[in-house]
Chain A
Amino acid sequence: NAGVMQNPRHLVRRRGQEARLRCSPMKGHSHVYWYRQLPEEGLKFMVYLQKENIIDESGMPKERFSAEFPKEGPSILRIQQVVRGDSAAYFCASSPQPGAPYGYTFGSGTRLTVV
């Protein structure tokens, strides 16, 4: 079991470019959560998805950010027209069901740097 796989591990983008972050959940997990971690800050919830559905996107910025979790393939977090303030570590977590008693399993994160 490979765990939650995120790629790329590091991503550098120039201002105005698009960033696409990928997350493959653990085998058997159909619930995916994206979190953002700014330097010296805690993890902030962004979006919760189930296969083909967005369940809760209350933490997503209203513009430039979108997420999907298609029937086949990884979950994608997409950031359009990146700005310096988007520089952060983006973590994905998965679970077989909401409220899993052993918590979520996190990936190693994608560190986005906007130059």
Chain B
Amino acid sequence: EDKVVQSPLSLVVHEGDTVTLNCSYEVTNFRSLLWYKQEKKAPTFLFMLTSSGIEKKSGRLSSILDKKELFSILNITATQTGDSAVYLCAVRYGGSQGNLIFGKGTKLSVKP
């Protein structure tokens, strides 16, 4: 069965800490892996990864994919309270061009 597993499910840190969120997957005909940030509204797109070993970076956020070990990590450095959200990992796979499989998300809480 195709699946995406995120860990940890929740995480509490203090401002300034660095966090690493994990996403592992088992899918047929992997195409790409996407990260989203979800506050109390629409998930917003962060990164899309298709190739192993190439780090994507946006400000304090970065992500990398390992297609051999079937996982990705999302790093957030110097966390701020505004980073508090649920971070969703999703995988696009072969069979349907439009279908994404989502993990359950990691709920990150950043305390001042």
State the A residues within 8 Å of B (CB). Answer: 3-4, 31, 33, 35, 40-45, 48, 55-56, 58-59, 91, 95, 98-99, 101-109
Q: Is the interface of B mostly helix, strand, loop or mixed?
A: strand
CA distance A42 to B23 in the complex (A): 13
Q: With A and B bound together, what is the CA distance between A45 and B2 in angstroms?
A: 13
Q: Is the CB of B92 within 8 A of A43?
A: no
With A43-B43, A103-B45, A106-B42 known to touch, is A48 a contact of B104 (CB < 8 Å)?
Answer: no
Q: Does residue B68 face the partner (Cβ distance < 8 Å to A)?
A: no
A80 to chain B, nearest CB (A): 24
Asked if residues B44 and A106 are in contact (CB atoms below 8 Å), the reply is: yes
| Additional 12 contacts, C-beta under 8 A, given A42-B4, A42-B102, A42-B105 | A33-B99, A42-B104, A44-B102, A45-B99, A55-B97, A55-B98, A56-B99, A95-B98, A98-B98, A99-B97, A102-B45, A109-B42
Q: Which of B80-112 contact A (CB under 8 A)?
A: 88, 90, 92, 96-105
Contact B34 A103 (CB under 8 A): yes
| Chain B residues, Cβ within 8 Å of A104 | 45, 100
Q: What is the total of A-B residue contacts with beta carbons within 8 Å?
A: 66
- Residues of chain A with a CB closer than 8 A to B88's CB: 42-43
Complex contact B100–A45 (CB within 8 A): yes
Interface size class of B (residues with CB under 8 A): 20 to 34
Q: Chain B CB within 10 Å — which of A33, A41, A104 has the most? A: A104
In the complex, which residues 28-45 of chain B have their Cβ closer than 8 Å to any Cβ of chain A? 31-32, 34, 36, 41-45
